[in-house]
Structure 1
Amino acid sequence: MKKYLLIFCLAISQFAAAQPYEPRWESVDSRPVPAWFAEARFGIFIHWGLYSVPAWATVDKAIATHPVYSEWYWWQKNTDTSRVGDATRAYHKATYGDDFKYPDFVRDFKAERFDPAAWADLFAASGAKYVVLTSKHHEGFALWPSAEAWNWNSVDVGPHRDLAGELSEAVREKGLRMGFYYSLYEWYNPIYLNDVDRYVEQHMLPQMKDLVCRYSPDILWTDGEWEHPSSTWRSEEFLAWLYNESPVRETVVVNDRWGKETRGRHGGFYTTEYDLDSSHAANMSAAAHPWEECRGIGNSFGYNRAETLEHYSSTQQLIVTLIERVARGGNLLLDVGPKADGTIPLVMQERLLGIGAWMGVNGEAIYGTEPWDKAAQNKADGVFFTTKGDDLYVLYTKPQAVLTLKGVATPRRADILGAEARVRCAASKGGVRLTLPAEVLRDAQERPQVVRLAGALR
């Protein structure tokens, strides 16, 4: 009897060891975010779906005082009762006619020019270390052969291609990590609208597990959580499965959008959206917790044909955005919105290549870095700091001829990344004084310049 009891106890202990996370927030929140995420610092977001066919949202400031997302076209056309909805309905009627229904866009979502290898080359050239594709947005259309989305996925209809699978393979061949955005809810799914518990049980959970088991993503980026608490979505249950049993249990990273109460409180890394300066975002950067801001190159995530150059951030602005987020301990997930034919707009390609050129010279001040704990007391206009080991990086987004830093040792070496010009470094009371040469000050007006102070934090 004792022998069998011992075997039973050993079996139970082994099962417990193999199942360290329980389906409750206190337990799943205890899982550390895998280190690769914070080391990467820069990723590419991709919003691509049927909304890429109309590819339209109003940019009229008299109608909307804030940017309108083109990927919400279907909802704005059918449900939005504001002036934005009126503008969308007027556009749809004038362009497609009253009888043209949103699902009819599938015939023009062909992706005939989609070249996953070319996309992966572009993302690698941008300096990004990971990619997140919208596997399914709120419209419910899946970019893989999902059984739960029969005849409403990119293999059954439209392109007749496994877009998620093809891109995953190409991205990983370039040495980048691959992840998926997934919307928990679907605007007009009749099961969701009539019985959310059945939707979660028979549609959402099986679909997410299929996505994980089929492609082994490095990131699962959920959204559309706001209509219900995490208990309705059974998020704790799913995350326990993800961390205990799934094929990516050791490496997968998730965000914080798992229920209407979870942002900035539960899940993996915390998220902000176009909005570092909000109180919510301020809490993210103040917390000793991984976080990420997502934003588009333009005002929308999905491609918006109504946007002009004035709506797109410049390369300089995007690099500064990246620097600001990383200096506060965050990541930047920068979005591109491909067209329905599978091409990425040239202005977006140009911006990514510009970021990549800068990262090729200055990436060591971004990848694998941490915020400087004395940054606040050394605050200067347009100057940010990152650290790696005992090195301090000073990132100038605006020219500063002379900068005095407190709380640092005289560095073993002070140099400017990618430049032969020397920075003058002199001991000052309680720190050091840096003086940039004229040519570096001039260059700083065009692109941020980085000074590396080797050994300054020893």
Structure 2
Amino acid sequence: MHITRRKALQLLAATAPALALRRSLAATLPIAAGPFQGTRESLAAYRIPAWFADAKFGIWSHWGPQSGVEDGDWYARNMYIQGSAQYNYHVETYGHPSKVGYKDLVPQFKAARWDPEHLMDLYVKAGAKYFFSMGVHHDNFDMWNSKYQPRWNAKAIGPKRDIVGEWKVAARKRGLRFGVSEHLSNSFDWLAPAHTSDSTGPLAGVPYDGVLPAYKDLYHDYSGEPANFAKTAEAMGRVAPDWWKQQYFNRIKDLVDQHQPDLLYTDGGIPFDEYGLSLVANLYNLSAAKHGGKVEAVYNSKTTTDCATGTCALDRERGVLDDISPVPWQTDTCIGEWHYKRGVRYKTAKKVIDLLVDIVSKNGNLLLNFPLPNSGELDFEEMVTLNGITAWMAVNSEGIYATRPWKIYGEGPSTKVVIRSNGQEFDPNEGKKPDLTASDVRFTTKGDALYAFVQGWPEGAATIAALGTSSPQNPAKITSASMLGYDGHLKFTQDADALRVTLPSNRPTTADIGITLKLTTA
């Protein structure tokens, strides 16, 4: 039976000597002193802080040199894949990747009109309680003044500014929690196509610029890898030599040590065993030292098993859990593509709020990316979406912040539809499903208040079956009803089959997005 390199590594990792080596490695990796060590057993004692459960809404700037090209996601990889749309665009716009490569595009990322103070004011006004800066994407370019990537970082080339540092100052000045995302753990495999060549055409067999020794600090050094590694490496494979794992550890530790984030997001599960586990422990120990022994930091992993017992907060990329989670979690998504793409169609404010209320009703948070172009300014259509979110949150956010789930998350046609991909909650149709309507209701609670988000303006009364006296949820008696943004109480009846609330005659300007009923109970 043929055993692949990946399988061989997995078999090796399962042996007792390898486990002993891991424990030894965890003990020697330099991390901040504190209550946690870089082992799963130690990190299982972690608990998600209350502020994260209260915050509910964050905004993310997934921004870097690939955004400078303004042609969408994964450009630094796909430009080296012959026949892909981005390869074709690159050849037509810049030239063949054997002659003009990603190294030549990085300096064109200028951020010439980027104003983090102005943008943060907009995001605070829109209701964000935390903000994420991308720290480093798969492209191996660090967005801070990086100690271990001195040539390819935003302070050294391109904008020549510490992007992470300036975002941090702007966020903290306004009382927001600050996070950084890292996608570096996949980089060694992800950039493999830069080491290949065209397979057909006049330049077939001519290597792309990724093979140039002078640029191995950007494209990686494959000299110790099998001859066919560049052709067989999987984009998110995380099959890498120990020297790369150590560099990964050094760079992400440098990011966290320099900027002391409240949140650290990794693109996948906790990577590279004790290297990744030690980074999580370092984050938590720094937080404990900063907050009098209390860990206020959050690490986001996309792997359910990582977060099953303490350790971290689960993140779902472009996906939503099916039901209420007993612990806080997060959806990360984008109004368009992750990296800026000219002409893309964005999510509407209605689509974003539909997602937000659904996620919050299930004990989750929404982290929403607004992709910035090369200039660093939001474009007109992005401002339309942001302004719509701002208007709705100004009226309805009382039912969002510091709330907890009710007995069920909601009712209506949308609760009957579950779309899965490969058994995961990741939803390939996220953002493409029909908007929620007045028949779709989501619930949250805070104190003695029950909030019912009705995701449209009903014709006649707002009808909520789950609050009927004979409902399986056995709801308490409703004693008053009001609508956020409306000054006064509303008439209602609570019968066996439903609660019916008579709405005011003047329709709110944000009613098409949704309204929020505030109900009190006996």
Correspondence 1:431-450 to 2 at 5 A: 432-440=499-507, 446-450=512-516
Equivalent in 381, 393, 418 of residue 451 of structure 2: 393
Confirm or deny that 1:354 pairs with 2:392: no
Unaligned runs of 5+ in 2: 1-32, 192-218, 226-239, 416-437, 469-473
Equivalent residue letter for 1:419: Y
* Equivalenced residues, count: 406
More helix by share: 1
Query: Which residue number corresponds to residue 74 of structure 1?
Result: 76
Q: Indicate which of 288, 297, 314 corresponds to 1:252.
A: 297
Mapped to 1, the partners of 2:41 and 2:182 lie a distance apart of 24
Q: Which residue of 2 aligns with 1:297?
A: 335
The answer to whether the 8 Å contact 1:181/1:220 transfers is yes
Secondary structure of the equivalent of 1:97? coil
Structure-2 change in CA distance of 1:94 and 1:265 (3 Å): farther
1:160-212, CA deviations, whole angstroms, 9 ceiling, x for partnerless residues? Answer: 111111111011111111110011232334258855211122x1112112111
Which 10-residue stretch deviates more, 19-28 or 328-337? 19-28
> Is the contact made by 1:408 and 1:430 (CA closer than 8 Å) also made in structure 2?
no
Q: Contact between 1:191 and 1:199, CA under 8 Å: does it hold in 2?
A: no
- Gap runs ≥5 in structure 1: 1-17, 57-69
Deviations 1:80-99 (A, max 9, x none): x7xxx522211111111113
- For the 8 Å contact 2:68–2:110, the answer to whether it is kept is no
Q: What is the distance in 1 between the residues matched to 2:112 and 2:101?
A: 22
1:160 maps to 160
* Paired AA for residue 420 in structure 1: D
Taking structure 2 as the reference length, the TM-score comes to 0.72
In 1, are the aligned partners of 2:268 and 2:301 still within 8 Å (CA)? Answer: no
SS, match of residue 186 in structure 2: coil
Asked if the contact 1:410–1:431 (Cα under 8 Å) also holds between the matched residues in 2, the reply is no
**Residues 245 and 272 of structure 2 are in contact (CA less than 8 Å); yes or no, is this contact kept in structure 1?**
no
For the 8 Å contact 1:409–1:432, the answer to whether it is kept is: no
1:161-310 map, 5 Å: 161-183=161-183, 184-186=185-187, 187-188=190-191, 189-191=219-221, 194=225, 196-201=241-246, 203-223=247-267, 230-232=271-273, 234-245=275-286, 247=289, 250-257=295-302, 262=306, 267-276=311-320, 281-282=321-322, 285-298=323-336, 300-307=337-344
Report how far residue 451 of structure 1 moved.
0.8
Q: Structure 1 245/161 Cα, relative in aligned 2: closer, same or farther at 3 Å?
A: closer
Matched residues in 1 for 2:75 and 2:129: separation? Answer: 30
Structure 1 residue identity aligned to 2:85: A
Contact 1:197 1:232 in 2 (8 A): no
Correspondence 1:42 to 2:57: yes
What is residue 367 of structure 1 aligned with on the other side?
Answer: 401
Residues 410 and 440, structure 2, Cα contact 8 Å, conserved in 1:
no
Q: Distance in 2 between matches of 1:321 and 1:375?
A: 13
Equivalent pair of 2:304/2:314 in contact (CA under 8 Å):
no
CA offsets 1:283-323 (integer angstroms, 9 cap, x no match):
xx44312111111112x11111141xxx2111122111111
In structure 2, C-alpha distance between the alignment counterparts of 1:233 and 1:348, rounded to whole Å = 40
1:147 matches 2:147: yes
2:74 alignment partner AA: W
Q: CA deviation at 1:445?
A: 5.0
What are the superposed Cα offsets for residues 90-147 of structure 1, whole Å, 9 maximum, x if unpaired? 1111111113211111221111211111111111111111111111000011111102
Matched, 1:87 2:85: yes
Check conservation: 1:34, 1:251, Cα contact below 8 A.
Answer: yes
Structure 1 residues 344 and 264, CA gap change in structure 2 (3 angstroms): farther
Q: 2:356 aligns with which of 295, 318, 322?
A: 322
- Measured in 1, the distance between the counterparts of 2:349 and 2:498 equals 33
Preserved CA contact (<8 Å) 2:59 2:130 = yes
Q: Would the alpha carbon gap of residues 135 and 365 (structure 1) be closer, same or farther in structure 2, given more than 3 Å must change?
A: same
Identity %: 33
**In the alignment, which residue of structure 1 is the partner of 2:463?**
403
Cα distance in 2, alignment partners of residues 159 and 443 from structure 1: 41
Report the Cα distance in structure 1 between the residues aligned to 2:110 and 2:164, rounded to whole angstroms.
14
1:260 to partner: Cα distance:
10
Query: Offset at 1:419?
Result: 1.3
> Contact 1:33 / 1:269 at 8 angstroms: preserved in 2?
yes
For residue 242 of structure 1, report the CA deviation from its aligned partner. 2.6
Question: Residue 212 of structure 1 aligns to which amino acid in structure 2?
Answer: V
